[in-house]
Structure 1
Amino acid sequence: METKVIYFTVNGTPEQAEFPVDCPDQDVKDLFRSAAEAGPHDILKLYSPKGSIINISTRLEPNSPSSCYRLEVVATDCSHQPPGAELAGGLDLSSIEKRLQCLERNILIYDDKTPSVVFEMKKQVDSFREKLENVEHLSWLGLFKDLSEGTHKPSPFYHKRTLQKTREECERVREKFLQMSSLEVSEEVRNYLKTPTFDNWQWEDAEIMVLLQVMYTDLDFVASFNIEPETLQQFLFEVYRRYNNIPFHNFKHCFCVTQMMYGLIWLTDLRSKMDSINLLIMLTSAVCHDLDHTGYNNAYQINARTDLALRYNDISPLENHHCAVAFEILERRESNIFRNLSPDQYKRIREGMIKCILATDMTRHNEILNKFKSTLPSFDFTNKEHKDLLMMILIKVSDISNEARPMEVAEPWLDCLLQEFFNQSDVEKLEGLPVTPFMDRDKVTKPSSQIGFISITSLSQCGRPLTTTLRWRRLWRRNNRPGLKVRM
C-alpha cells in the first residue's frame, strides 16, 4: 500500500504522520487532531513553511524534517451544543462551561494562575450542573443521569460523595463476610476463579472477600505459613476498609488485580518454579497495591504539593503510601497474617512486597520492562534478580489486565477509569494546575484512551514513533466502520 509521510511541528515539537494516499480526508484530520491533543470542537490550522494556511487532507504535499509544516490549535467552537444541553429560558449550560474554558485558557496564556473570580464562576456552574444531574424531577431537561439501568453502569461508587467507607457500611459487609466465610465454595467457582475471563461484576464485596480467602487456601498459604483463619479474615476486612469509594481504584479493582495474579500463578505453573514465599509476596502485593488511593494520580499529588508528595519527596508518593498502609495493617497482631513467620521470612516478604508495589508506578514502566527484556535470553529461576523482575512484571501485567478481559467485563472498567480521570482533570482546571492530557474530558474518547494506553505500554517498547500510534487509531476507526475490514 502506497503511503505518504508528512512532517510537522506542534508547539515546537516535531511530529510525523503516515497515512495511505487513498484514505479519507477525515482520517488525516484525525491524525493531526490526535497529535495536537485537540478536542473534538477545537479548530486546527496548518501552515506551510512560508506561513500560508493549507488544507489538511490526503492531498498534502510530502515534505522533509527540514521543511516542516506548523500545526496550531487556534480556537474553540463554543457554539456546539450536545443533545439535552439547552435549558428552559434559553440558558445553555454547555455553552457557559465552554466560554469559561476559553476565558480561562486565554487568561492562563498571560498569567500563571486562574483568578479567584473565574474559579468561583466555575464552582457555581459545576454546582448547578450537579444539582440538575441528581434531581429526578428535572429529567425533562435531559440532564438527569439515571445510572441504575443498563449492563454497563460505571461504578457503584459513582454517586458517593465521601471518600472513606462509613462505619455502618463496613460493619454490614463484615457481618455478611463472616457469615459466608465458612461456606464451601464449589469446584466450578474455584476453577472459574483461575481464568482470565472471570467476571467480577457478578460478586458483592463480602463475596469477594470469601474468594480472596479461597485464593490463600488453595495456594496452600494458610497451612504453609500457619495463618489462622480469623487473622486472614481480619486482614481481608481491614484491606476492604482501607480501599476508598472512588470510581476505579477501589476494592473491586484490588480484587481484579489479585484474581489475575492468582490465575497467572496457576496457568503458568509458577508453583513448580518459585517457592511459596515468593508466591505469597505476589498475591499479597496485589491485594495491597492500591490501598487508600484517593483517585488522583502522582502527577496531581506532585503538582498540588499534597501531604503525600511532601512526605515522599515526589518519589512515587502513591505507591509508597500504599506500601505504608499495607504494613500499618500488618503491624496489628489481629490482622498480621505473617505473625507466625520467622524474622528472616518476614524481612524477605516485606522487601518483596515493597519492590512489587513500587513497580506499579507507571513512570517506571520502561525501566522495569527493559531490565526484564535483557534477562529473557538467559532467564534463570535460580537467579534472585531475575525472579524479582518477573514478580514485578507479573504485578504490572495484573494491574493493567482489564484490556485482556472479555469486553463485557472490561468496558465497564473503562467507564470507571474515565470517570476518575475526568474528576482529576476537572479539579486540575479549577485549581489552575497543569491538566493531564489523557484525562481531559474535552479531548479524550473511549477508543482514543485505549489505543493511546496500549501503545504506550506495548508498541512504544519496540521503538515505534508517534506515527505508529496514529496509524493504529486509523486502523481502529476503519475496523469499526460498517462493512470495512483492515488486515493487521
Structure 2
Amino acid sequence: MTTKIIHFMVNGTLEKAEFGVDCSAADVKDVFRAAAEAGPHHILKMYSMSGSVLNISAQLEANSEDSYYRLEAVASDQQGVRMPKELDAMEHRLLHLESKVLDDVGEPPEAVCDLMSQVESFKKKLESVKHLSWVGLFKEDGDHQLSKRSPKPSSSQLSAHEQQQQVRRKFLNMSSLQVTEEVREHLKTPVFDNWQWEEAEMLVLLQVMFTDLDFLAAFHIQLEVLQNFLFQVFCHYNNIPFHNFRHCFCVTQMMYGLIWLTDLRSKISRIDLLIMLTSALCHDLDHPGYNNSFQINAQTDLALRYNDISPLENHHCAVAFGIMAKPECNILKNLSSDQYKHIRGGMIRCILATDMARHNDILNKFKSIVPVFNFTNKEHQEVLMKILVKVSDISNEARPMAVAEPWLDCLLQEFFNQSDTEKLKGLPVAPFMDRDKVSKPSSQTGFIRFVLLPLFTEVTKLFPALEKHLLEPVRRALDFYSDLERASKQEQEEEEEKKKEGRTAAAGGGV
C-alpha cells in the first residue's frame, strides 16, 4: 500500500506520522489527536511553515523534516477554553434526543441524523478558522471569570513573531539588491502575478515603488525609516484568507500601475501620489476577516468605538497613523505641519472611501464631474483619488484569470467563515456570504455587472488608455462566469428532470 509521511512539531518535539493514501480523515485526526495528547473536546490546528492554516485530512501533503508542520490543540473544556454554549447545548440536546429515539423506536430518523451531521460539520469548520476568539471561544482568567481579553503569549505566538523577524531579515538582506528593469516594468502593469513572490520579496517591491516615484528624495524619507514602516505594515496585517498582507500588496501594486498607466505624475502633485499609494498600502490594516455588517450586528468593540460608522475603515486609518507615531517608522516626520495635515486628511478620505457602503455616493459624485473634470480643481482631484484607491481595492477581476481566480477562492473562504459564525450567533447572514446559497460564478456575475463595470466604465471615460487594462479583462471575466453560471443552471435543470422522470417511472410501476 502506498504511504506518505507527515513531519510535524507538537509540544516542542518533532514527530512524524505515516498514512496510507486511502486513510480516512477521521483516522488522520485520531493520530494527530493522540500525538497532541488531546481529548475529544480539543480543536486541533495545523499550520504550515509560513503560518497558513492547513486542513487536517488525508489530503495533507507529505513533507520533510526541514518543512515540518506545526500541530496545536487550541481549545479544551479541561484547559478552561470552552466551545460556544449554543453549540455545546445543541449537541447535548441532540445526543439526548437520539438516545431517547433509539430507546423508543430502535433507529434514529433521518432528520435527527442530519442535525447531528450539521453540528459535527460545524465543529470541523472551526478547525480551519484561525481566530477562534471571533466565534466565542474564551479563556478563563485565574479567578475563573470568562474574559474576552487575549491570553498570554503562547509558543505559537512567539513562533509567529520569529517568523516575522525572519521575513524582516530576508527583506533587509535583499533590499540592497538591484531589482531588474524587467521586473520594474512588469510591476507597473495589472498583469503582475502576486502569487510568485514571497513576503520579503513583496516588501522589496514596495520599497521599489516608493523609490521609483521619487518619494524618498521629495519628502526626505530615510531608507531605514521606510523599511521600518513597510515592515510594521506587514506585521499589522492578519493571517486570514483574503484581507491579508498579500491583498495589501496587490492593491498597492495596482495603484502603482494606475499611476504609470494614466501618467498621473504629470497631472497631480507628488504629495497626492504619496497619499494614494500609502492609502492603498494601509487600507486594510489589522482587518479581522469579518466585515462592517458583522461588527455592527455583533456590537463589537470596533462598532462601539466608531458608533457603527465605517468601523473597519476608521480602524485601518487609526492603525496606520499609530505605526507612523513611532519615530523609527514615521515616513512623514520631515514634512511641514501643513504637509502632514494634507497627507493625513487625504489618507483618511481615501481609506474611508473603501467602505462599500459609500460606493454609490462616491461613484455618482465622480460620474457628475467626469464630463467637466478639471485636474486643477481641488474637489475633482479629491474625488478622483478616492475613486482610484477604490478601483485598486476591487480590481482582481482586471487581472489574468490565473491570478484572479485564487483570490476569489480566498474571498469566499473568508465570507463562509463569517456566515458560519453569524449562523452560530444568530446574527443576520448576507446571501452572498452563505455557503449554502452562493457559488463562484453567481458571486461574480452580479458583482462585475453592477459594481465593477459601472465603476471602471467611468474611470475609462477620463482615462481612455485604461480600457484595455481594466474594461476588457473585466468584460472577459463576466463572460467566463456567465458561461459557468449557465452551465451550472442547465446541469441542475437536467438533474431535476431526471429525478422527475424517475419519480414518474416509480409511480407508474406502483400502479
Taking structure 1 as the reference length, what is the TM-score of the superposition? Answer: 0.65
- Distance in 2 (CA, whole Å) between partners of 1:450 and 1:418 is 11
CA contact (8 A) 1:243 1:251 kept: yes
Question: Of 210, 219, 222, which residue of structure 2 is paired with 1:228?
Answer: 222
1:21-32 equivalent positions in 2, closer than 5 A: none
Matches within 5 A, 1:412-431: 412-431=406-425
Q: Compared with structure 1, are the counterparts of its residues 164 and 260 closer, same or farther at alpha carbon in structure 2 (3 Å cutoff)? A: farther
C-alpha separation between the residues in 1 aligned to 2:208 and 2:452? 33
How much does 1:169 deviate? 1.3
1:334 and 2:305 aligned:
no
For residues 169 and 480 of structure 2, the distance between their equivalents in structure 1, rounded to whole angstroms, comes to 49
Q: Of residues 390, 393, 401 in structure 1, which corresponds to 2:387?
A: 393
Task: Report if the CA contact (8 A) 1:164-1:245 is conserved.
Answer: no
Q: Pick one of 118, 138, 156 that aligns with 2:90.
A: 118
Structure 1 residue 127 displacement after superposition = 2.8
Residue aligning to 2:372? 378
CA–CA distance in structure 1, aligned partners of residues 453 and 377 of structure 2: 28
- Of 177, 184, 190, 1:190 maps to 184
Partners in 2 of 1:471 and 1:177 — Cα distance?
40
Instruction: Indicate conservation of the 8 Å contact 2:87/2:119, yes or no.
Output: no
The one of 431, 435, 438 aligned to 1:444: 438
User: What is the CA–CA distance in structure 2 between the aligned matches of 1:318 and 1:450, rounded to whole Å?
Assistant: 23
Matched ranges for 1:85-484 at <5 A: 117-118=89-90, 124-128=120-124, 166-458=160-452, 477-478=485-486
Q: Measured at CA, do residues 379 and 165 of structure 1 come closer, stay the same or move farther in structure 2, by a change above 3 Å?
A: farther
Letter in 2 for 1:267: L
- What amino acid sits opposite 1:295 in the alignment? G
SS at match of 2:209: helix
Q: Look up the match of 1:48.
A: none
Q: What amino acid does structure 2 have at the position aligned with 1:213?
A: Q
Given that residues 163 and 244 in structure 1 are in contact (C-alpha distance below 8 angstroms), is that contact kept between their aligned partners in structure 2? no
User: Tell me, what secondary structure is at the counterpart of 1:260?
Assistant: helix
The one-character-per-residue Cα deviations of 1:234-255 (angstroms, maximum 9, x if unpaired) are 0000000000000000000000
SS in 1 for 2:289: coil
Higher RCO (CA-CA < 8 Å; seq separation 6+): 1
User: How far 1:437 sits from its partner (Å)?
Assistant: 1.1
Cα pair distance change 1:474/1:400, threshold 3 Å:
closer
Separation of aligned partners in 2, 1:263 and 1:218: 12
Name the CA shift for 1:382/1:437 in 2 (closer, same or farther; >3 Å). Answer: same
Q: Which residue type is aligned with residue 261 of structure 2?
A: L
CA contact (8 A) 2:445 2:482 kept: no
Matches within 5 A, 1:15-54: none
C-alpha contact 2:442 2:485 (8 A) present in aligned 1: no
Cα distance, 1:129 vs structure 2 = 6.2
Shift in CA distance, 338/363, structure 1 to aligned 2, threshold 3 Å: same
Unaligned runs of 5+ in 1: 1-83, 89-112, 134-160, 463-469, 483-488
**Partner Cα distance (1:132, 1:237) in 2:** 27
Asked if the contact 2:444–2:481 (Cα under 8 Å) also holds between the matched residues in 1, the reply is: no
Distance 1:352 1:195, change over 3 A: same
Q: Structure 1: which 4+ aligned runs deviate by more than 3 Å?
A: 84-88, 113-116, 119-125, 128-133, 161-165, 458-462, 470-482
1:375-427 C-alpha deviation (Å, 9 max, x unpaired): 01110011110000000000000000001100000011011000000000000
How many percent of aligned residue pairs carry the same amino acid? 66
Q: Is the 8 A contact 1:165 1:245 kept in 2?
A: no
How far is 1:167 from its partner?
1.0
Q: 1:128 to 1:285 in 2, by over 3 A?
A: closer
**TM-score, reference length from structure 2:** 0.62
Aligned-partner Cα distance in 2 for 1:310–1:282: 28
Q: How many pairs does the alignment contain?
A: 342
Root-mean-square deviation (CA, aligned residues, Å) is 3.2
Contact 2:441 2:482 in 1 (8 A): no
Deviation at 1:436, TM superposition (A): 1.6
1:275: how far off? 0.6
Query: 3-state SS of the aligned residue for 2:252?
Result: helix
Q: Distance in 2 between matches of 1:330 and 1:165?
A: 26
Aligned to 2:385, the other structure's residue is in SS state: helix
Q: Secondary structure at the match of 2:358?
A: helix
Secondary structure in 2 matching 1:166: helix
Counterparts of 2:332 and 2:369 in 1: how far apart (Å)?
31
- Distance in 2 of aligned mates of 1:164 and 1:131: 21
Q: Which one-letter code corresponds to 1:268 in the other structure?
A: T
Quote how far apart the aligned CAs of 1:345 are.
0.2
SS at match of 1:338: coil
Letter in 1 for 2:351: I
Structure number having the greater helix percentage = 2
In 1: Cα distance, 2:274 partner to 2:378 partner: 16
Where in structure 2 are there 5+ consecutive unaligned residues?
1-22, 28-84, 95-117, 130-154, 458-477, 491-511
Contact 2:313 2:355 in 1 (8 A): yes
Deviation at 1:471, TM superposition (A): 12
Deviation at 1:453, TM superposition (A): 1.4
Question: How many Å separate the matches in 2 of 1:390 and 1:378?
Answer: 13
In structure 2, relative to structure 1, the CA distance for the partners of 1:227 and 1:305 (3 Å cut) is same
Asked if 2 retains the 8 angstrom alpha-carbon contact of 1:244 and 1:250, the reply is yes
Distance 1:125 1:219, change over 3 A: same
Tell me if structure 2 keeps the 8 A contact 1:288–1:326: yes
Q: Deviations over 1:176-209 (max 9, x none)?
A: 1011111110100000000110000000000000
